[in-house]
Structure 1
Amino acid sequence: MTDRPVDEMSFEEAMAELEQVLGQLERGDVALDASITLYERGAALKSRCETKLKEAEEKVAAITLDGDGNPTGLKPVSDL
């Protein structure tokens, strides 16, 4: 586990640390106080991953293609 702020992590970084946190919690070899801290960190990492995935999905959904399959620009997500 790192001390890096979760809101500065990429999706990949947050997912990797979340896997580490889950592994520690599943093993159950962590003191109760540390488990609570790990759980809180895991919840923040999960939220970060969900946010980054939603951002990526919105970018993909906003791409429009012309008749030849070439991107023509971005369409507001609200119009989809």
Structure 2
Amino acid sequence: MATKKPENLSFEDAMHELSSIVADMETGNLTLEQSLKQFERGIQLAQVSSAKLQQAEQKVSILMGNDPQAELTHFEPAAE
């Protein structure tokens, strides 16, 4: 089964996968290479999820009238 790019996952699916990665890593049964690969995937999922959450918070703020002149902007996480 092909792994979807983090940006193509819903927020909920990304968080579920991130939770699964944490559980796998906590078992201590992964090799160093597997752990690093999972860690990298986890970082990607966390960054994309954070961006989606920030966009949702911004949208809610605008809808609630906290800043009527604010515009939604696309959030790009810093490249590492």
So what's the TM-score if we normalise by structure 1?
A: 0.78
Counterpart of 2:49, as a letter, is C
Moved over 2 A (4+): 74-78
1:75 match? 68
RMSD: 1.8
Q: Percent identity?
A: 30
Q: In 2, distance between residues paired with 1:52 and 1:76?
A: 21
1:59 match? 59
Q: Which runs of 5+ in 1 are unaligned?
A: 66-73
1:3 aligns with 2:39: no
Corresponding residue pairs, total = 69
Q: Which runs of 5+ in 2 are unaligned?
A: 72-80
Q: In 2, distance between residues paired with 1:8 and 1:76?
A: 30
Counterpart of 2:52, as a letter, is K
Larger radius of gyration: 1
